[in-house]
Amino acid sequence: ERKWGTCSSPLTVDGKLIINPGGKDASLVALDPKTGKEVWKTPGKPASYGSFISGVFGGKLQIVGYDLDSIGGWDVKSGKRLWRLAPEYDSKFNVPTPIQVGDRLLIALENNGTRLYQFKANGEIDPKPVAKHRDLSPDSHTPVVVGNRVFGIWSRFYCLDLKSGLEQVWDSDDRAFGKYGVLVASEKRVLAITLEGELILLDPLAAKFDPISRGKVFADEAGLYSHPAFVGTRMYVRGSSSLVCVELMA
Q: What is the pTM of this model?
A: 0.95
Sign of CA dihedral 41, 47, 51, 56: negative
Interval 156-200: pLDDT, tens: 999 999 999 999 999 999 999 999 999 999 999 999 999 999 999
Distance in angstroms (rounded) separating the CA atoms of residues 186 and 172: 21
In the three-class reduction of DSSP (H, G, I as helix; E, B as strand; rest coil), residue 210 is classed as coil
Share of the chain above pLDDT 90, in %: 93
Q: What is the pLDDT of residue 7?
A: 83
For 126-149, letters b (16+ CB in 10 Å) and e give eeebebebeebbbbebbbbbbeeb
Interval 44-68: pLDDT, tens: 999 999 999 999 999 999 999 999 9
Interval 172-182: pLDDT, tens: 999 999 999 99
For residue 4, pLDDT over 80 is answered with: no
Distance in angstroms (rounded) separating the CA atoms of residues 94 and 90: 10
Q: What is the pLDDT of residue 25?
A: 97
Q: What is the pLDDT of residue 128?
A: 98
For residue 71, pLDDT over 80 is answered with: yes
Q: What is the pLDDT of residue 112?
A: 97
For residue 14, pLDDT over 60 is answered with: yes
CB atoms within 10 A of CB 216: 13
Q: What is the pLDDT of residue 250?
A: 67
Distance in angstroms (rounded) separating the CA atoms of residues 197 and 1: 32
**For all residues of the chain together, what is the average pLDDT?**
95
Q: Which of 96-100, 116-120, 246-250 has the lowest mean pLDDT?
A: 246-250
For residue 5, pLDDT over 90 is answered with: no
Total length of the chain: 250
